[in-house]
Amino acid sequence: MTQQEPVTSSVEDGIALIRIANPPVNALSAAVRGGLKRAAEAAAADPAVRAIVLAAEGKTFIAGADISEFGKPPVPPSLPETIAALESLSKPVVAAINGAALGGGLEVALGCHARVAAPSAKLGLPEVNLGILPGAGGTQRLPRLIGAAPALKIMAEGKPISAKEAQANGLVDEVAEDVVAAAKTLALKLAGGALPAVPKDRTNLGAREAFEEAAAAILKRNPNNPSVEACVDAVRAAFDKPFEEGLAVERAHFTRLRDDPRSAALRHVFFAERAAARIPGLPKGTAARPVQRAAVIGAGTMGGGIAMCFANAGIPVTLIETTEENLQRGLERVEGNYATSVKRGSLAEDAKAKRMGLIEGKVGLEAAAGADLVVEAVFEEMGLKKEIFGKLQEIAKPGAILATNTSYLDVDEIAASTSRPADVLGMHFFSPANVMKLLEVVRGKETAPDALATAMEIGRKLAKVPVVSGVCYGFIGNRMLARRTAMAERLLLEGALPQDVDKALTDFGFRMGPFAMSDLAGIDVSWRIRKAMNLKTAPVADALAEAGRFGQKTKRGFYDYSADGRTGAPDPEVATLIERISAERGISRRAIPQEEILQRLLFPMINEGARILGEGIAARAGDIDTVWLNGYGWPAWTGGPMFYADSVGLPKIVARLREFAAASGDTNLEPAALLLRLAHEGSSFTALDEKAAA
């Protein structure tokens, strides 16, 4: 089979129609760049060509540079050279933007003389999300086209704008359903006249003060973000330097950032998230079951949040409770959450009404009968869950998916309480469910392939990042978290204070440390669970809870919140309490260096991640990273726990774990078999994933 040329060109009625066809998203691979440059040169040389239209096949215009080429030796022509070839043509080039024009894709369109976009098209410069900045003229052309302040906003936020917005700010000249036809008409109109290229001077930049004001606000919102800082610097160069010199400033930032390990980590994040959507072992062509209507059992904080996810995605949902009173309380909480969004300006009043209209409250399990997907979100109590699933086998439609939102419990045991275990799986949302992006989809041993495919597809429809996990206590995320939690307590007993432990993690890049998090969630929640299970694993947290220090809600927990109810201050009383518990246990306290604290918190989690991978609970190391990045606030520019482990070096982690295990006598800290093997072979988690994908 001959491979289709990624760029083709045909001439008709004086117009050269250059088409890009490089599925799935028309990324600007070396072959596309080469094809574009040759097509531009051929159009320039052909006397029959009066104008050029640049179009693309599929639903995307161009998704940008081919990210998989970063980190490999560059292949000419470069993207700036390719764009220069289009821009320097003496015949008009019009971009027909049929779908997303992102990054280098928008930069190609900016190198054209005019742009027509479909109403559904999205235009953006999302490079900051990959730790870089636009590197093919975007930082110089966009400000000169629409003004420096609005251009900086687009590139620093990394969020695409709609065709309508792009027309309003002058980025596109026309919005049309049939972009190719409209672009042809426009191209012929421009032929023979002066070409409306992006001005190379300061005409359109706007007021310098407005730019500096916008830049200061953006830098404040994005502290220590090298990509955003580079965007500001490059756009500022548009005021201070001629066009070509501005391009050089941009290029220098681009190559520096592209070669920074933080950008490599963010590229890993991009591909890991997409790889997580592929389910190993799923028969080819497995189709998802249709889901027209959902039901959520339990209108607590979690159940209400899950119902909101369905309503936000336009899927009607029945929210089910046992009593009218509980139901009303749940519905009021949902309404209150939407009202807060309206007040903040992130949701229109009519959109709120529409979403509330999609949520129907009902008392009694029978109301689940109409749903294609039922999500149970009641207390973490096996008996209760089994009872519900037992009843659902009669109530739910044949073929309806029966999902549990359990965070820890055995999905196989729950599935065994029904006569239809093939329909059962876990859909583990994270709190607050309407905000957090992670969805762990738990595959039971009997779960049918199409049930799994359905949960993954629905997850994406709910704007979540779904990751498949096998069945084990705590699944991927909470199982690893348990290692960190246990170690955090141990560090307190050995000499650290809550603020020392939290600081190690916030300095690493987490928004919050484990103790500040505990105070926010409520220390009493896990205390009650430990009491019920007769666990003595967290003596400090238990002592605080017993003293009525439940965290922010009682103004005291690991920290003192008496100042404003939200800002935690270190509390000498807590230090005294911890010192007392250490003394009672005969532990002589010592000052623990920050680096040791960090390693003792992170390395046991990585070790548990290796076990999870070794047991096949997670299919890829990248899946584990995706879980931690989207559900637990792991800093993206380190790539997630397993990618970070590779960057630290697996032999170093093995050596430190052995030291921790020897010092504590805790066999859990002994390096996992898979970690040992990879370290011994000089391999890495990344290499393991690559081998599995090949």
Interface with ligand TC6 (CB under 6 A): 24-25, 27, 60, 63-68, 79, 100, 102-104, 126-127, 130, 135-136, 271, 274
**Least distance from C-beta 60 to ligand TC6, angstroms?**
5
Closest contact distance (angstroms) between CB of 65 and ligand TC6 is 4
Q: Please state the closest distance from residue 25 (CB atom) to ligand TC6, in A.
A: 4
Report the residue number whose CB is nearest to ligand TC6: 103
- Determine contact, residues 537/530, Cβ cutoff 8 Å: yes
How far is it between the farthest Cα atoms of the chain? 92
Least distance from ligand TC6 to the Cβ atom of residue 229, Å: 18
CB 394 → ligand TC6: shortest distance, Å?
A: 38
Question: How far apart are CB 485 and ligand TC6 at their closest, in Å?
Answer: 34
**Residue 403 to residue 296: CA distance in whole angstroms:** 9
Q: How far is the CB of 29 from ligand TC6 (least distance, A)?
A: 8
- Cβ proximity to ligand TC6: between 131 and 568 the closer is 131
Closest approach of ligand TC6 to the CB of residue 268, in Å: 12
Neighbours of 312 (CB within 10 A): 16
* Of 126 and 298, CB closest to ligand TC6: 126
Nearer to ligand TC6, 134 or 303 (CB): 134
Closer residue to ligand TC6 (CB): 136 or 237: 136
- Report the C-alpha gap between 471 and 343 in whole angstroms: 41
CB of 143 or CB of 305, closer to ligand TC6: 143
What whole-number distance in Å separates Cα of residue 258 and Cα of residue 266?
10
3-state secondary structure of 439: strand
114: β partners: 94
Nearer to ligand TC6, 23 or 314 (CB): 23
Alpha helices in 9-158 (DSSP H): 30-45, 79-87, 104-110, 138-146, 148-157
208: left (phi over 0), alpha (psi -120 to 50) or beta: alpha
DSSP code at position 70? T
User: Distance of CA 332 to CAs 295, 301, 326, Å?
Assistant: 18, 11, 10
Closer residue to ligand TC6 (CB): 82 or 405: 82
C-beta of 272: minimal distance to ligand TC6 in Å?
10
Cβ atoms 106, 124 nearer than 8 A: yes
Cβ proximity of 227 and 132 under 8 Å = yes
Which is it for strands 424-429 and 438-442: parallel, antiparallel or unpaired?
antiparallel
Instruction: Note the residue count of the chain.
Output: 694
Which CB atom, from 60 or from 454, has the smaller least distance to ligand TC6? 60
The two three-digit tokens of residue 585, written as one number? 């246990």
Residue 60 in contact with residue 25, Cβ under 8 Å? yes
Burial label for 268, CB within 10 Å (0-12, 13-18, 19+), is buried
Based on the number of CB atoms within 10 Å of its own CB, is 357 exposed (0-12), middle (13-18) or buried (19 or more)?
A: exposed
The residue (of 131 and 551) whose beta carbon lies closer to ligand TC6 is 131
Distance separating alpha carbons of residues 223 and 96, to the nearest angstrom: 37
Site of tokens 């052995």: 658
CB 486 within 8 Å of CB 600: no
User: Is the CB of residue 459 less than 8 Å from the CB of residue 439?
Assistant: yes
C-alpha–C-alpha distance, residues 465 and 239, integer Å = 40
Tokens 């009872």 locate to 387
**How far apart are CB 426 and ligand TC6 at their closest, in Å?**
24
CA distances from 399 to 373, 374, 451 (A): 9, 11, 9
Name the strands in the sheet holding 122-124, side by side, starting at the edge strand that comes first in the sequence.
60-62, 100-102, 122-124, 161-162
SS3 209: helix
C-beta closer to ligand TC6: residue 124 or 635: 124
Query: Which of residues 161 and 378 has its CB atom nearest to ligand TC6 in the complex?
Result: 161
CB of 135 to ligand TC6, least distance (A): 4
> What DSSP string describes 499-545?
HHHHHHHHHHT-SS-HHHHHHHH-HHHHHHHHHHHT--S-HHHHHHH
| Nearest of 121, 83, 86, 84 to residue 104 by alpha carbon | 83
The crossing angle, in degrees rounded to 10, of helices 621-631 and 261-275 is: 100
Show which residues are catalytic: 107, 127
